């Protein structure tokens, strides 16, 4: 499903550059945050596990960068407009400990995978494939889920704290995703929807992301 912008390659490219810019900066930030959190892991084994996940995020960053360069675009320039909002998001969601870092990684991974999958409907096949590669967090997600389950089984008092934390994270992630999508207007541009249509799309998407999140939290035995 291609949009009206297919007729205007320059506009289309600039919208895709925005999309890849926020994706690249998201990956670079995720790499830094995960590897910083790794240090606070309860065991050396967990440190290495988190470190390995961080490295995967960096490799995804490199994939997006290669794509931007292939399009003749500068990665730094593409990322810059999104730096303040992504940084702000991370400032507002500093994990207090390793378990919160784990939950943060899990929530961001899964919700953003859903988000990019939805947005991927509106881009060309090459870009969609790239998004698929970068967001195919299957393995990392499974590791995070397993580790969270184990932690919750070991210490049931964690459950209420992590449930609360996950709700806060969901709120922050969704607010961030809405702001980025609407402010930078790439969602409207790519989908060919007018302002009202784009807002409606974002509302529908938000509801879908929240419902999927609630299902995953229930899977962990937590109240969504």
Applying CB under 8 A, the residues found at the interface with a second copy are 25, 28, 31-32, 35-36, 38-39, 43-45, 47-48, 51-52, 54-55, 58-59, 61, 65, 75-76, 79-80, 83
Q: Please, which residue, 35 or 175, has the CB nearer to a second copy? A: 35
User: Which DSSP symbol is given to 39?
Assistant: T
**Is the CB of 75 or the CB of 127 nearer to a second copy?**
75
CB atoms within 10 A of CB 215: 10
| Cα Rg of the chain, angstroms | 18
Minimum distance from residue 23 beta carbon to a second copy (Å) = 14
Identity of the residue, 49 or 193, whose beta carbon is nearer to a second copy in the bound complex: 49
Closest distance of CB 198 from a second copy, Å: 28
Task: Check: CB of residue 18 under 8 Å from CB of residue 186.
Answer: yes
Q: Quick one: 13 or 83, whose CB is closer to a second copy?
A: 83
Least spacing, CB of residue 55 vs a second copy, in Å? 5
Q: What is the rounded distance in angstroms from the CA atom of residue 44 to the CA atom of residue 73? A: 40
H-helix segments, 39-156: 44-70, 75-79, 83-92, 98-119, 125-135, 138-154
Q: Which is nearer to a second copy, 35 or 206 (CB)?
A: 35
Rounded to whole angstroms, the Cα distance separating 62 from 54 reads 13
In angstroms, what is the minimal distance from the CB of 61 to a second copy?
A: 7
Contacts of 199 (CB under 8 A, 6+ apart): 182
**Half-sphere CA count of 205, side-chain side, radius 13 A:** 25
Residues 6 or more apart whose Cβ sits within 8 Å of residue 62: none
CB 138 to a second copy: min, Å: 21
Minimum separation from the CB atom of position 201 to a second copy (A) = 30
* Pick from 125, 151, 148: nearest CA to 217: 148
Closer by beta carbon to a second copy, 45 or else 157: 45
């Amino acid at each position: 499903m291609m949009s009206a912008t297919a007729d205007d390659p320059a506009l289309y490219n600039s919208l895709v550059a925005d999309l890849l810019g926020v994706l690249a900066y998201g990956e670079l930030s995720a790499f830094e945050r995960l590897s910083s959190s790794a240090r606070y892991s309860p065991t050396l084994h967990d440190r290495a596990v988190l470190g390995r996940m961080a490295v995967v995020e960096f490799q995804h960053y490199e994939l997006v960068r290669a794509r931007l360069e292939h399009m003749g675009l500068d990665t730094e320039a593409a990322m810059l407009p999104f730096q303040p909002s992504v940084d702000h998001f991370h400032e507002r969601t500093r994990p207090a400990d390793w378990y919160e870092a784990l939950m943060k990684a899990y929530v961001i991974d899964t919700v953003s995978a859903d988000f990019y999958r939805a947005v991927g409907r509106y881009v060309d096949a090459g870009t969609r494939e790239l998004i698929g590669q970068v967001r195919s967090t299957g393995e990392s997600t499974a590791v995070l889920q397993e580790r969270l389950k184990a932690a919750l089984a070991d210490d049931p008092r964690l459950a209420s704290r992590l449930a609360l934390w996950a709700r806060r994270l969901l709120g922050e992630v969704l607010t961030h995703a809405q702001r980025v999508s609407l402010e930078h207007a790439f969602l409207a541009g790519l989908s060919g929807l007018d302002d009202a249509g784009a807002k409606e799309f974002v509302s529908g998407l938000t509801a879908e992301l929240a419902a999927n999140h609630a299902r995953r939290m229930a899977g962990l035995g937590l109240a969504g």
